Amino acid sequence: MVELSLEEARHGDPRLDRRLKTDDYSPADVAVMLRSNAVAAGYRPLRLPDELAQKYGADNWRLHGLNLTGSTVTAERWYPEWLDHHGSIPPDEAPSRRTQRRTDASVPADPFYEQLCGFPRYRTVGQRDALRAVAVADAGDTVICALPTASGKSDVILTRALRQRPRQTVIIVPTVALAVDLEQRVQDRLGSDDRYAYHGDLESVEKERICTGIEDGSQWLTITSPEAACSSLARPLKAAAEHGRLDLIAVDEAHIVAEWGDDFRPAFHTFAALRRTLIEVSPAHLAPVTALLSGTLDSYGLASLKRLFAGRSTVLVCAQSTRPEPAWWSAKCDDEQQKRDRLIEAMCRLPRPALIYVSLHTSSRSSNTATVLAWLKQAGFAAAAAIDSRSKARQRHDAVRGLRLAGESRDDLDVVVATSSFGLGIDIDDIRTVIHLCVPESVDRLYQEVGRSGRDGHATASLVLWTDADQLVADDLARARLIGADKAWQRWSSMRGRGAWESDRLTVNLTAAHAGVRYPWSDANLYWNTQTLAAMERAGMIRRYWPEPAQTPQDADDDELARFFDGQRTAAMLEILDSDISDESVFRRRFQHGRQASHAATTAALDAAVHVLQSRPQCTSRYLASRYELGDSDGNVFPMTVACGGCPVCRREGTRPFDAPALTTMASGQVMRTADDRLRSLAPEGRLSVRTDGLDPRAERTLLARLARHGVITLIAPRPDMVATSGANGPWWMENVRDWSVNSDEPWRVPTALWVDATVDDDVLELALSRLAKQTFGVLIVPPDRIDPANTKQYLHEAWTPTYSIDDLLRRL
Q: Say which CATH number the domain at 759 has.
A: 3.40.50
Burial class (CB in 10 A: 0-12, 13-18, 19+), 312: middle
Point out the domain boundary residue: 266, 292, 318: 318
Burial class (CB in 10 A: 0-12, 13-18, 19+), 500: exposed
Task: Please count the other Cβ atoms lying within 10 Å of the Cβ belonging to residue 190.
Answer: 12
Strand extents, DSSP E, 114-263: 121-122, 142-146, 168-172, 197-198, 221-224, 246-251
What's the rounded Cα separation, in Å, for the pair 796 and 789?
Answer: 8
Point out the domain boundary residue: 76, 93, 108: 76
- Does residue 266 lie within any of the structural domains? yes
Per DSSP, what are the bridge partners of residue 67?
A: 74
- Measure the N-to-C terminal CA separation of the chain; round to a whole number of Å: 74
- Classify residue 453 as left (phi > 0), alpha (psi -120 to 50) or beta: beta
Among candidate residues 442, 428, 411, 408, the one with its CA nearest the CA of residue 177: 428
Same domain, 161 and 37: no
The shares of helix, strand and coil residues in the chain, as percent rounded to the nearest 5, are: 40, 20, 40
What's the rounded Cα separation, in Å, for the pair 689 and 753?
Answer: 9
- Does residue 33 lie within any of the structural domains? yes
Q: What is the DSSP string of 629-642?
A: -EE-TTS-EEPPB-
Same domain, 46 and 140: no
Same domain, 684 and 779: yes
The bridge status of strand 66-69 relative to strand 72-75 is antiparallel
Q: What is the DSSP string of 554-568?
A: TT--HHHHHHHHHHH
Same domain, 142 and 58: no
CB 438, CB 468: distance < 8 Å: no
Same domain, 147 and 295: yes
To the nearest 10°, the Cα dihedral for 356, 361, 365, 371? 60
- Does residue 165 lie within any of the structural domains? yes
pLDDT at 258: 72
What's the rounded Cα separation, in Å, for the pair 161 and 653?
Answer: 48
- Tell me the CATH number at 213: 3.40.50.300
- Identify the segments of the chain with pLDDT beneath 70: 259-264, 421, 423-426, 480-481, 547-569, 615, 663, 720-729, 744-747
CB 654, CB 661: distance < 8 Å: no
- Does residue 397 lie within any of the structural domains? no
Same domain, 51 and 160: no
Same domain, 166 and 310: yes
- Does residue 725 lie within any of the structural domains? yes
CA angle 608, 327, 382 (to 5 degrees): 105
**CA atoms within 13 Å, Cβ hemisphere of 218:** 9
Coil, strand or helix: which one is 248?
A: strand
- Does residue 109 lie within any of the structural domains? no
Task: Give kind and range of the element (H or E) at residue 332.
Answer: strand 326-332
What's the rounded Cα separation, in Å, for the pair 585 and 733?
Answer: 55
Same domain, 194 and 50: no
Any residues with CB less than 8 A from the CB of 684 and at least 6 apart, and which?
A: none
CB 800, CB 794: distance < 8 Å: no
CB 132, CB 104: distance < 8 Å: no
- Does residue 496 lie within any of the structural domains? no
Burial class (CB in 10 A: 0-12, 13-18, 19+), 76: middle
CB 92, CB 39: distance < 8 Å: yes
The bridge status of strand 326-332 relative to strand 460-466 is parallel
- Classify residue 588 as left (phi > 0), alpha (psi -120 to 50) or beta: alpha
pLDDT at 315: 92
Residue 396: phi and psi, rounded to 5, are: -65, -45
Residue 76: phi and psi, rounded to 5, are: -90, 145
- Does residue 354 lie within any of the structural domains? no
Residue 717: phi and psi, rounded to 5, are: -145, 160
pLDDT at 149: 77
pLDDT at 262: 54
Q: Which residues of 270-279 are buried (b: 16+ CB within 10 A; e: fewer)?
A: bbbbbbbbbb
Per DSSP, what are the bridge partners of residue 575?
A: 505, 543
Among candidate residues 249, 307, 251, 313, the one with its CA nearest the CA of residue 281: 249
Burial class (CB in 10 A: 0-12, 13-18, 19+), 138: middle
Same domain, 307 and 168: yes
Same domain, 161 and 285: yes
Coil, strand or helix: which one is 15?
A: helix
Domain that includes residue 679, residue range: 673-812
What's the rounded Cα separation, in Å, for the pair 18 and 406?
Answer: 11
The bridge status of strand 107-108 relative to strand 121-122 is antiparallel
What's the rounded Cα separation, in Å, for the pair 750 and 774?
Answer: 9
Domain tally, the chain:
3
Same domain, 19 and 154: no
- Classify residue 465 as left (phi > 0), alpha (psi -120 to 50) or beta: beta
Point out the domain boundary residue: 297, 318, 339: 318
CB 409, CB 21: distance < 8 Å: yes
Any residues with CB less than 8 A from the CB of 252 and at least 6 apart, and which?
A: 153, 154, 157, 171, 172, 173, 174, 178, 182, 293, 425
Same domain, 145 and 253: yes
What's the rounded Cα separation, in Å, for the pair 181 and 379?
Answer: 31
What's the rounded Cα separation, in Å, for the pair 132 and 713?
Answer: 10
What's the rounded Cα separation, in Å, for the pair 632 and 624?
Answer: 18
